[in-house]
């Protein structure tokens, strides 16, 4: 990428010194898939406070061993007393019938037409993930999120190192309970990770709590048709604002280990180009554990795109297939970018300086 004083092309139109949607979309494409960078790079943790003033209505339990190899220290979980469950104890009620086996090696159905990761499409076109239909998964997740996001929370406070391993549980039996609604789906449990930390992130990114809940819970998600090479499930909210993506246990563990450094970067670099993470959850039912991360939709449909790239910083097998190139707006890759833009993209000096400074801050 080069900065030049010569007149920019119409690839980066602007008005009154403000970046246009086209500029934003092209810059975002050039930055590339930073999420993949996050899920493959080591993190550096900064020092955070560790001695909170715990409200009297909170109780303290030993942390879960769900992520035993996490680099964070073993710490206390702080949740409201009526929602706090010792992760090393069996919970009472019907939830005892729910197994939380972590096995990800499920046998494949012989009748499946398509198989990619845990995503299956049967002969009738029904899509499942770990043998749960994506529609039931979506509805159950929305029921859980309605409860989690709608319940009372303590006032915003300083984020503590303990908050990054905070885990909350809530059971959702089909017959309902005093605090959960009746629903027609399989009994499930929703685990919420680092609720206080993610609430801080949402506030820092200017996300209104009511709007966030409305986007996620008011209308059905849409499943994106192209799951990518990982076989993950991608949902998008009806208002085109948020992406809900399934992640593996390893990815969830890694994201949690990144949170302290992510917090420090966000407080020191509010213009970060790193992905905006808004929540991490786990749906548990029978022997299924399905983890979701909620992120911002980097490329809303109302932004006109000239070109779209998935850049990973590698040239090995990084060229769009012929089938992909036939699409109206294909997702191009690193070698395509080098061929189409051998001299990089031309940015005005002001935008170039801003972009490079932000990238330098993000990778520091």
- Residue partners of 322: CB distance under 8 A and separation at least 6: none
What's the mean pLDDT in 341-353?
Answer: 93
The 10s digit of each residue's pLDDT in 200-236 is 999 999 999 999 999 999 999 998 876 566 778 899 9
Assigned architecture for domain 2-33+310-363: 2-Layer Sandwich (3.30)
Q: Which of 48-52, 87-91, 193-197, 220-224 has the highest mean pLDDT?
A: 193-197
Same fold, 2-33+310-363 and 58-296: no
CA 99, CA 189: separation in Å to the nearest integer? 10
CATH number of 58-296: 3.30.800.10
CA 216, CA 293: separation in Å to the nearest integer? 12
Angle at the Cα of 322 (from 316 to 327), degrees rounded to 5?
115
The 10s digit of each residue's pLDDT in 104-153 is 434 333 444 566 668 788 778 788 888 888 899 999 999 999 999 988 66
- As given in the structure block, the two tokens for residue 109 are 């159905």
| 251 vs 112 pLDDT, higher one | 251
The answer to whether the beta carbons of residues 151 and 309 sit under 8 Å apart is no
Domain segments of the chain: what residues? 2-33+310-363, 58-296
Cα of 25 vs its chain's centroid, Å = 20
The answer to whether the beta carbons of residues 345 and 3 sit under 8 Å apart is no
The 10s digit of each residue's pLDDT in 19-33 is 443 433 333 344 344
Pairing mode of beta strands 346-347, 2-3 = parallel
What's the mean pLDDT in 323-329?
Answer: 91
């Amino acid at each position: 990428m080069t900065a030049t004083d010569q007149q920019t092309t119409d690839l980066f139109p602007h008005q009154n010194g403000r970046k246009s949607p086209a500029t934003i979309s092209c810059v975002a494409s050039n930055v590339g898939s930073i999420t993949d960078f996050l899920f493959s790079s080591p993190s550096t943790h900064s020092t955070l406070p560790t001695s909170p003033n715990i409200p009297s209505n909170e109780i303290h339990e030993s942390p879960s061993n769900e992520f035993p190899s996490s680099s964070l220290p073993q710490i206390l979980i702080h949740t409201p007393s009526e929602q706090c469950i010792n992760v090393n104890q069996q919970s009472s009620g019907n939830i005892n019938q729910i197994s939380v086996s972590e096995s990800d090696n499920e046998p494949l159905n012989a009748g499946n037409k398509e198989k990619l990761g845990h995503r299956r499409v049967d002969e009738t076109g029904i899509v499942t993930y770990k043998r749960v239909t994506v529609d039931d998964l979506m509805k159950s997740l929305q029921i859980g999120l309605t409860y989690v996001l709608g319940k009372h929370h303590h006032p915003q406070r300083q984020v503590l190192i303990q908050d990054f391993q905070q885990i909350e549980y809530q059971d959702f039996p089909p017959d309902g309970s005093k605090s959960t609604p009746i629903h027609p789906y399989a009994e499930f449990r929703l685990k919420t990770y680092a609720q206080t930390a993610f609430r801080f992130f949402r506030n820092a990114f200017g996300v209104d709590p009511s709007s966030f809940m409305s986007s996620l819970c008011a209308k059905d998600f849409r499943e994106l048709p192209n799951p990518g090479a990982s076989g993950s499930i991608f949902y998008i909210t009806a208002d085109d604002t948020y992406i809900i993506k399934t992640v593996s246990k390893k990815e969830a563990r890694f994201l949690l280990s990144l949170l302290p450094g992510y917090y420090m970067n966000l407080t020191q670099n509010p213009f970060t180009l790193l992905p905006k993470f808004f929540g991490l959850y786990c749906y548990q039912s029978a022997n299924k554990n399905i983890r979701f991360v909620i992120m911002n939709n980097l490329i809303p449909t109302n932004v006109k795109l000239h070109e779209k790239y998935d850049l990973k910083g590698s040239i090995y097998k990084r060229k769009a297939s012929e089938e992909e190139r036939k699409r109206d707006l294909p997702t191009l890759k690193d070698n395509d970018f080098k061929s189409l833009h051998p001299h990089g993209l031309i940015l005005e000096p002001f935008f170039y300086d801003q972009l490079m400074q932000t990238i330098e801050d993000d990778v520091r």
